[in-house]
Amino acid sequence: MALGTGIQGVFAPVNVAGALFVKTDTTTPLFNRLGGVAHGSREFIVGSDYELAASSATAQISEDASVTAPAPSYDSPVQVKNVTEIHMKAVRSTYRKISNIDALTGLNLAGQENNVKNPLALAIRNRLAELRNDLENTLINGEYNLATTSAEVDRTRGLNEAIVTNVIEAAGAELNPDILMEVARAFAGTPFGLNGVLGVLNAEQIVQLNKIITDEGHRASMGDAGSNLLTYLTPFGRMTFLEGGHRFQTNGTAGFYRLGVCRNVLHPVPGMGSVFYEPLAKTGATEHGQIYAQWGLDHGLEWQHAKVTGLATTTGASTAPKVHIVNTEDAPVYTSAVSA
Q: What confidence tens digit (pLDDT) does each residue in 166-212 have?
A: 999 999 999 999 999 999 999 997 778 999 999 999 999 999 999 88
Domains within the chain, CATH numbers bracketed: 29-49+79-107+114-337 (3.90.1690)
Q: Containing H/E element for 31?
A: helix 29-33
Residue type, 120: L
Q: Which of the residue ranges 278-282, 292-296, 315-319 would you say has the lowest mean pLDDT?
A: 315-319
Strand ranges (E), the chain: 35-38, 43-49, 78-83, 85-94, 167-169, 197-201, 218-220, 231-234, 237-241, 254-258, 263-266, 275-279, 286-298, 306-309, 322-325, 334-337
Instruction: List pLDDT tens digits, range 85-137.
Output: 999 999 999 999 888 887 778 777 777 777 778 888 889 999 999 999 999 99
Is residue 17 within 8 Å of residue 112, measured between CB atoms? yes
Residue type, 332: P
Cα–Cα distance, 75 to 69 (Å, whole number): 18
221, 227, 233, 239: CA torsion to nearest 10:
-140
Reported pTM: 0.83
98-130 burial code (b ≥16 CB/10 A, e <16): beeeeeeeeeeeeeeebeeeebbebbbebbbee
Instruction: List pLDDT tens digits, range 223-247.
Output: 666 778 899 999 999 999 999 999 9
